Structure 1
């Protein structure tokens, strides 16, 4: 088993060359000192002449000085990748999905091809051959192989298992179109127009996924963030929502650990620190939350002994939280019945973000709203201006005045709330189901 606990030494010493009497050759010793006060002695031998040993000793001193000294030359790529998966990816991954994706690439596409090679023997030619081989299998797979290999080998460099990353700067075969990191072109055929968004909101009323649709298309939340929302996350005075958690599969749990313990409904940390955010709630969504809370209280009263009072907004009649794929069949049926384009659930979030960007909202503000780790990600993923047809621009601009809530003067809450003054009431005034009092109250809030 690969052991990296002592790989990062804090001091070192290279002792003089000496002759091994029983072997009639020369050697020198490297002493590595660690933060806990322990040390490790490595003997480098097998040199036929004293000059050859002296030259090797000087090279070792240079590597130790610049931090490129390799402590273990016998680690196989297979052994390293398995260690990296279990001790780096498993510990840092926010969900089982990320770990599973990396594991599949490692076990099915990298280890079978290069796993037997020593890590220190891996060269640029090996990497190029791997890319060429996997490109013949799948363009999608070879791109994932490239990502996983680069990330894992950078980890190997940091832990002094190799001095240089042989995958650094190696491009995919020329027949594969280069794609900048995190770029995704916006396909108009996979986004909804304003009229279609209106239709979707209306059609979702009375379905099991109405709240999920609202949180997605009007607030841009991820599906697992939506499932993790609780009524305690709602600030009813300032009308803001704190995104605190997501529901998903616990990474270190297996299906044989008990049937009564939900595998895919575990409260997990958010995708990144930026995902934890406080969002203004559109008035239309706020009203829906209040109605949903009434339903929640009725179900709790009726099913006192059976009800799971876990405070989830999106839950069953028995209070049980929704799994990440619960929405799928209802969503697809909703699209068919409403004669809407057959787009993915995530395309609603993409559409929401894209419309914000096309309406000249600050990329930094949109990044905070979407919970992205960096401003660049939002711009790159969703900001392809060339794919928005000119005729849609006026409609997109009006979306910003129609869909988000107006920030009221004097509203205060702990934590930073996105300063995005977008209203939902003006857009929804024409929707069926809004009574006159609600319309009048909404009208008073308009500019």
Structure 2
């Protein structure tokens, strides 16, 4: 009677539940067995190898994962197909419209061209790393054929590559979008793990910005005197409110008696809804802040000016109840505010900065005045003090403070600076 050692490898019997293994006609070895699938069901899977040992090793790996309660991946489609599904059915309900628009542009521009044809279930960390390295080192004019579409080619189409590369910040953003999409695929049990999380690209340095000095802030406010939006520019510089938060302010949000403003909404232009009122950026962004005395004075003057404009417009006035409006009462476009701000900088002979950079300047100037970092965090509406310390505050000022956030004073009060606070005195 033959012993198991005498039996050919292809015919050796395996214990019940261990699956089967045999050699195919093409010479490869195939192993098959039942493993856990999504929905608490079981599914028969097949794996292949050059040798019997290799095929068994692959089956053993899947069986071990199944015994740990990890379902076998069910994703048979491509990465591109899943990204499209994720954007249209998942991200659209979880992200703000403008954020979703940026995610879509990033996906169509970088993710799908680079990884779209790969099978989702077979995507590896090596695939992601290789793709990111290619993005990091390849001229985007060449890769995306941007130069060929120009009326006057000046790069690849002329045989002289400009060497345009993605910035580290853009590369990190592209990587984060991929991680978000694959994370949802893991939650839906389409794949067992998020391979993008296993790829480290380093922490990019934030864009260096030199905040306005106290002298530059005074120059800006002096140049704004007489401008119909003087109160807006003063409010932005002294409180660090975001552009959308300022444009979304309504008179009902201001309490002149207590000298406070309630930040409840933001005002943006979206692709589908046009000018739209939206909730604040985060839960922490909805807050009540104390207004400095100069802001209260300029807001009172602004309200009188708005009453005169309303009387002059007559029947053409649109009562939007916004604090800052056009001369006919309509809300102000964010892009229009940017043009007004750039013109103000030119009038004041100041260097060109973004409107949002006033928010950075506020944090630094308040630190110079001795205001505690945690109070600035509440004033700006940040969820975490690390954002205030690493992004919005000047590293020089943090160094003077020892690099450590200061502890807030006790007592409940509207977030803001002390009553003696004078940002640009």
Tell me the TM-score range normalised by the shorter chain.
0.7 to 0.9
Which residue number in structure 2 is paired with residue 269 of structure 1? 279
Which residue number in structure 1 is paired with residue 203 of structure 2? 179
Which residue number in structure 1 is paired with residue 242 of structure 2? 222
Q: Secondary structure, in 3 states, of the residue corresponding to 2:191?
A: coil
Is contact 1:85-1:103 (8 Å) kept? yes
Matches within 5 A, 1:328-407: 328-386=338-396
Which residue number in structure 1 is paired with residue 84 of structure 2? 82
Change over 3 Å in CA distance of 1:73–1:90 after alignment to 2: closer
Larger RCO (CA under 8 A, 6+ residues apart) = 1
Q: CA deviation at 1:45?
A: 5.8
Q: What is the CA–CA distance in structure 2 between the aligned matches of 1:300 and 1:224, rounded to whole Å?
A: 23
Cα offsets for 1:7-51 (capped at 9, x unmatched): xxxxxxxx96899xxxx9965475754xxxxx7664546899xx9
Q: Secondary structure, in 3 states, of the residue corresponding to 1:267?
A: strand
Structure-2-length-normalised TM-score? 0.74
Q: CA deviation at 1:150?
A: 2.4
- Residue 72 of structure 1 pairs with residue 102 of structure 2: no
Which residue number in structure 1 is paired with residue 219 of structure 2? 199
Count of residue pairs brought into register by the alignment: 366
Q: CA deviation at 1:277?
A: 0.9
Unaligned runs of 5+ in 2: 1-15, 21-29, 140-164, 402-408
Q: What is the CA–CA distance in structure 2 between the aligned matches of 1:92 and 1:358, rounded to whole Å?
A: 39
Is contact 2:35-2:72 (8 Å) kept? no
Change over 3 Å in CA distance of 1:31–1:103 after alignment to 2: closer
Is contact 1:358-1:383 (8 Å) kept? no
Q: What is the CA–CA distance in structure 2 between the aligned matches of 1:53 and 1:389, rounded to whole Å?
A: 59
- Residue 417 of structure 1 pairs with residue 419 of structure 2: no
From the CA coordinates, give the structure whose radius of gyration is larger.
2
Change over 3 Å in CA distance of 1:297–1:62 after alignment to 2: farther
Q: CA deviation at 1:240?
A: 0.5
Which residue number in structure 2 is paired with residue 213 of structure 1? 233
Is contact 1:184-1:381 (8 Å) kept? no
Change over 3 Å in CA distance of 1:150–1:192 after alignment to 2: same
Which residue number in structure 2 is paired with residue 147 of structure 1? 176
Change over 3 Å in CA distance of 1:306–1:126 after alignment to 2: same
Q: CA deviation at 1:145?
A: 1.9
Is contact 2:325-2:332 (8 Å) kept? yes
Q: What is the CA–CA distance in structure 1 between the aligned matches of 2:395 and 2:423, rounded to whole Å?
A: 26
Q: What is the CA–CA distance in structure 2 between the aligned matches of 1:237 and 1:65, rounded to whole Å?
A: 66
Structure-1-length-normalised TM-score? 0.71
Cα offsets for 1:207-250 (capped at 9, x unmatched): 24323211210110111111101101011221110111111134
Q: What is the CA–CA distance in structure 1 between the aligned matches of 2:337 and 2:32, rounded to whole Å?
A: 70
Is contact 1:28-1:57 (8 Å) kept? no
Q: What is the CA–CA distance in structure 1 between the aligned matches of 2:203 and 2:48, rounded to whole Å?
A: 48
Change over 3 Å in CA distance of 1:129–1:425 after alignment to 2: closer
Change over 3 Å in CA distance of 1:214–1:376 after alignment to 2: same
- Residue 284 of structure 1 pairs with residue 284 of structure 2: no
Q: What is the CA–CA distance in structure 1 between the aligned matches of 2:364 and 2:194, rounded to whole Å?
A: 36
Q: CA deviation at 1:82?
A: 1.5
Which residue number in structure 2 is paired with residue 433 of structure 1? none
Is contact 1:73-1:120 (8 Å) kept? yes
